[in-house]
Structure 1
Amino acid sequence: MTPKSFVSALAAADLPSVFNPWRDRCAIHDRRDAAARRRANLERVLVAALDARVETIWIARDLGYRGGRRTGVPLTDEIHLNHAAALMGGIALERATQGPAIAERTAAIVWQVLGRIGQPVMLWNVFPFHPHEEGDPMSNRCHTRAEREATWPFLQALVSMVRPKRIVAIGRDAHLALDGLNIPTTAIRHPSYGGQREFIDGMFDLYGINGREPASPELPLYGAVARSCALA
């Protein structure tokens, strides 16, 4: 599978109470061509990851409504879209929404760490779309086991394309869900609910970075999925 065919397959998926950023358009925040912009963003990231022969994929659980839902780039909010473009070799990534750029706390911490590591990685989610409560598209919920099983081929296709040497699972839920992959997986605590320091320290240890930056104060997570849940 190529980056283009992978993104096209993602864009064809349609699930209830799920926002597919590469297919759907938010009537409130999105530009008219928002889905096309997000498809282009993800395809460029994938091409850059393959060109750079990235060795690691960081995988969290679901897209959040303030991050990848808006940008089409997992674990990346609009504030850090330029950071992603620079880390992936100076590619062009475009905003798909109107109005002020929106921040997501988890994305801010992830990109704080990536800024220190300075190596391109592929960012992804176990469930690649944004699951929300029925009738409340600007909410976050945990994806179900059925949703994960329905979209598992996307994760398998991504792994087959990138061929990583290592996967980093961000959070307990992601780590448990990734048990079926036959690739070494390292679990790092999710930065939510007091886990910011452990996340940063864990990533720095993993990449052999000496010294510690003072972590930003713990703040409410803007749209980040923080609580653990059973994927039933």
Structure 2
Amino acid sequence: MRLPAVFNPYHDRCLTSDREDAPKIRRNNLVEYMRAAEGRVSSVWFGRDLGYRGGRRTGLALTDEQHLTAFSERYGGISVVKATCGPIVGERTATVVWGVIRQMPTPPFLWNVFPFHPHTPGDPMSNRCHTPSERRSCATLLSSLIDWLQPERIVAIGNDAYKGLTDMGYSATCVRHPSYGGQTDFIRGIREIYGLSSTDSLPHQQSLF
């Protein structure tokens, strides 16, 4: 899929930071992830879209390069590979999200309402909210994912993700996005949904798959 001012990490290569085979690496990361999750997850968490410091680089929603090892461990030791050159890059949202996932007995499946990285025209290292028409162009991907996973619970991270899901007819529970001062509310919201206490910290040491 090709769209103007949109980076598709499974097809496009960033000439600034990507390895030569980066799109193939990200496709393989995604395939390994989907194979590990099939029949084993009961929740899906939806972000809005991929960010330039996170999923644009890894091909994995809500996951930056700093958390690839944690990602692998939580999903049964699957092989996920860094697709870029140079130092590891982190993302604040991914850091908060993975801090919570480490406390959960079973990790959710992570995805985005718009599964690519929309950016300002002419500035690929920027983030913008995807448009309704861009979201509609990917609606069949989202519906196929939900039909495949059959999740018991759908969580929208932030109002933009919640609006995108409800506009497409899906019921979701909304938690505040962790950015712009929302970290505490996000953590509290997830703990309330899943009945986690502030002392729950051991499950991240176990592989659930």
Do both proteins adopt the same fold according to a TM-score greater than 0.5, normalized to the shorter chain?
A: yes
SS in 2 for 1:116: coil
Q: Distance in 2 between matches of 1:181 and 1:89?
A: 32
- In structure 1, the residue matched to 2:182 is 195
Contact 1:59 1:168 in 2 (8 A): yes
- In structure 2, the residue matched to 1:84 is 71
- In structure 2, the residue matched to 1:218 is none
Matching residue's letter, 1:28: T
Percent identity over paired residues = 51
1:48 aligns with 2:48: no
TM-score, normalised with respect to structure 1: 0.84
Post-superposition CA distance 1:183-210 (Å, at most 9, x none) = 5411000001111000001111111112
Match of 1:64 among 21, 30, 51: 51
- In structure 2, the residue matched to 1:17 is 5
Matching residue's letter, 2:48: R
Contact 1:24 1:35 in 2 (8 A): yes
| Alignment RMSD | 1.3
Structure 1: 4+ residue segments shifted above 2 A: 180-184
Contact 2:165 2:171 in 1 (8 A): no
Match of 1:102 among 89, 92, 114: 89
Unaligned runs of 5+ in 2: 201-209
Post-superposition CA distance 1:141-173 (Å, at most 9, x none) = 111111011111110111011111110000011
Q: Distance in 1 between matches of 2:83 and 2:61?
A: 14
Shift of 1:178: 0.6
Q: Distance in 1 between matches of 2:199 and 2:163?
A: 28
Match of 1:28 among 16, 23, 36: 16
Shift of 1:118: 3.5
Distance change (3 Å), C-alpha of 1:55 and 1:181: farther
Q: Distance in 2 between matches of 1:78 and 1:104?
A: 8
Match of 1:176 among 153, 159, 163: 163
Matching residue's letter, 2:31: E
SS in 1 for 2:47: strand
- In structure 2, the residue matched to 1:211 is 198
Distance change (3 Å), C-alpha of 1:51 and 1:165: closer
Contact 2:66 2:88 in 1 (8 A): yes
Match of 2:113 among 126, 139, 145: 126
Distance change (3 Å), C-alpha of 1:182 and 1:145: closer
SS in 2 for 1:57: strand
1:111 aligns with 2:98: yes
Shift of 1:70: 0.2
Q: How many residues align?
A: 200
